[in-house]
Amino acid sequence: MERPIIDEHTRVLVMTGAGISAESGLATFRGAGGLWAGQPVERVATPEGFAADPALVWRFYSQRRAQAAAAVPNRAHRALAALEDRLGDRFLLATQNVDGLHQRAGSRRVVEMHGSLWRTRCAVCPAPPFDDRTPVEPPLPRCTRCGGLLRPAIVWFGELLDAADMRRIERFIVGSSPGRAPLVFLAVGTSGNVWPAAGYVGMARSVGAVTWLVNLEAAENVGAFDHFVQGPAGEVLARLLGVDDAV
Ligand code: OAD
């Protein structure tokens, strides 16, 4: 099987989505059985949905907290943590996932583009988000600073991604401009439907990256990749990255 060339100069930017946690038993978003099937996205993943029915939104994210807490990282998460051990600062993992499984597998250089299930913030004032693992039930919790309702620290549709997160990803890509260290861009378990995540493959290509997609099915943006390896992330990544971890 063809593999990405990762030598002592190569920098690797990984972009993961819900598919990488599927083998840990967590549902993806799109398609049959996905989190968005039978669940209108705008009711649970927009500021307007939260304003209309905060208890429903908290019920949804409390269930996801419980499911993610019960899940364990799989072979794919571990393969990426092992790669980071080898590459150090030549590695960056941008994830759209909010489940925290990458960190539990040992990944440290992680950008959580869409926020985290494990943080809560005020829906009204800029009080900093705080760590929170508890399921939330009515009466809904309120901000100690301004009295506004608290909400999950997830980036919902219609909201901006954290500018510092985007800069960190872009700086990593630009740090690999032509003439500098070669860049491998590897997307795993993502349908390529959501921007800006789906666009980083294009930015990486513009600086000469070799681009790989590992996914169960062809993603929306599959045409933007040099290589597409179809299959379950755990098995494929262990082979592609040469990680000997059969569990
Ligand atoms: P999706 O549900 O859109 O796509 C998951 C992809 O993973 C699909 O293309 C599947 O084919 C693939 N897949 C499933 N099981 C797999 C496995 N075992 N190995 C490899 N691939 C597998 O999820 P995302 O692309 O992550 O945003 O969705 C992006 C964003 O849309 C999410 O972060 C979320 C959602 O709305 C927010 O909630 C803000």
The pLDDT tens digits for 181-227 are 899 999 999 999 999 999 999 999 999 999 999 999 999 999 999 99
Domain parsing of the chain, residue ranges: 11-26+73-114+161-246, 30-70+118-154
Q: How far is the CA of 222 from the centre of ligand 1 (A)?
A: 14
Predicted local distance difference test score (pLDDT) of residue 129:
97
- Contact, 24 vs 180, CB < 8 A? no
Joined tokens for residue 139: 């009466």
- Which of 5-9, 212-216, 242-246: highest mean pLDDT? 212-216
Predicted local distance difference test score (pLDDT) of residue 181:
82
Contact residues for 152 (Cβ-Cβ < 8 A; gap 6+): 57, 58, 61, 115, 117, 119, 120, 121
For the chain, give the number of residues. Answer: 247
Q: How far is the CA of 84 from the centre of ligand 1 (A)?
A: 22
Q: How far is the CA of 21 from the centre of ligand 1 (A)?
A: 9
Q: Which ligand 1 atom sits closest to the C-alpha of 232?
A: 19
Question: Which residue, by CA, sits nearest to atom 22 of ligand 1?
Answer: 19
Joined tokens for residue 62: 């409390």
Q: 92: closest CA among 205, 206, 13? A: 13
Q: 21: closest CA among 112, 109, 98? A: 98
Predicted local distance difference test score (pLDDT) of residue 2:
87
Q: 227: closest CA among 186, 183, 170? A: 186
- Contact, 174 vs 204, CB < 8 A? no
Ligand 1: which of 16, 75, 96 to mutate, most ligand atoms within 8 Å of CB? 96
Domain 11-26+73-114+161-246 in CATH 3.40.50.1220: yes
What are the φ/ψ torsions at residue 153 (nearest 5 degrees)? -85, 60
Residues annotated as part of the active site: 114
Report residue 247's pLDDT band, with 50, 70 and 90 as the boundaries.
very low
Predicted local distance difference test score (pLDDT) of residue 49:
97
Measure the CA dihedral 160/117/191/53, to 10°. Answer: -70
Cβ < 6 A, ligand 1 pocket: 17-19, 22-23, 28-30, 34, 45, 96, 114, 155-156, 189-191, 193-194, 215-217, 219, 232-233
Residue 177 C-beta-side C-alpha neighbours within 13 Å? 4
Percent of the chain topping pLDDT 70: 97
Q: What angle do CA 197, 200, 178 make, to 5 degrees?
A: 165
Predicted local distance difference test score (pLDDT) of residue 39:
77
Q: 30-70+118-154 in CATH: which number? A: 3.30.1600.10
Predicted local distance difference test score (pLDDT) of residue 67:
97
Report residue 244's pLDDT band, with 50, 70 and 90 as the boundaries.
low
Task: Tell me if residue 216 falls in helix, strand or coil.
Answer: coil
Q: How far is CA 210 from CA 118, 182, 214, 226, in A?
A: 34, 8, 13, 7
- Mean pLDDT score, 70-83: 98
Percent of the chain topping pLDDT 90: 88
Q: Which residue has the tokens 């209108």?
A: 40
Which helix (H) or strand (E) segment holds residue 172: the answer is helix 163-174
The pLDDT tens digits for 126-179 are 999 999 999 999 999 999 999 999 999 999 999 999 999 999 999 999 986 667
The pLDDT tens digits for 79-96 are 999 999 999 999 999 999
Joined tokens for residue 196: 């800006």
- Mean pLDDT score, 235-239: 96
Longest dimension (CA), the chain: 58
